[in-house]
Amino acid sequence: MPTNTILLAGRPVHRLGFGAMQLPGPGVFGPPTDRSIALAVLRQAVESGVDHIDTAQFYGPDVANELIHEALHPYPKELVLVSKVGAARDERGGWIPAQRPEELREGVESNLASLELDQVPVVNLRRLPETDVPFVEQLDTMNALRDEGLIGAVGLSNLAIDDYQTARSHTEVACVQNAYNLTGRTEQALFDACRADGVPFVPFFPLGSAFFPENPVLRSPAAQDTASRLGVTPAQVALAWLLAQAPTVLLIPGTSSLLHLEENLAARELVLDEEARVLLDQAAG
């Protein structure tokens, strides 16, 4: 298998995919600022070789999935859609937990309906630390949904490393999605465990969080200096650095801009030299 691809739930996908989180309005709430551009971004992503899109019913809510459906349905056979369950939104856009087994099932059913799928290829269980629902009970629910054919594989998100080890003994883990980027490496132990196990690691906020204007990744002197020397953008440097960390890294940078989409996808071709790698490896915040 080429080094620019990885197996996700048994299906080969390119290691640079697309995250739909930024397609809805500000705060991942409400309709997009420009619907036509949001649809164009999705279509251009797939035309440019993206075959893995990460989404969630609670992005909007309902907005990201609806845009994906309008832009891409009927879906290309090689496209792997990955969604997640475990959260919901209130009427003001606040994030609220939806961790109980019946809520996980409802979340999967909502994704099936809005995406018009018989099966969601991968669904991530987004674990919230404040939940009182036993983790094993959640895993049992996800396994049941997989066994019923409603989801193709079980992924995990926002979990501690001890939960990861528990999950590995209860289910086949398709992927792990936790925060990890050039300047934020608090999840290094989990990253290393996934790499050792050959489990795809999908860093969320690979370019830093859009919720915070003072973005430490793109403002990193190491990223900026390397970008200037190589004639690329700090975002491209940060994405290329992540891809270089392990062959199991699968990226989902999101954007609502056609220009930024093009720039992000160009990181597939960027090879960092030794000087860049040494400098960037030291850039953790």
Q: Which residues are catalytic?
A: 59
How many angstroms separate the first and last alpha carbons of the chain? 34
CA atoms of 9 and 68, how far apart (whole Å): 21
Residue identified by tokens 């979990």 is: 159
Q: What is the per-residue DSSP string for 75-88?
A: PPTT-EEEEEESEE
| Nearest alpha-carbon partner for 166 in 195, 105, 203, 125 | 125
Q: Give the residues across from 282 on adjacent strands.
A: none
Whether 62 and 88 have beta carbons less than 8 Å apart is answered as no
Whether 190 and 249 have beta carbons less than 8 Å apart is answered as no
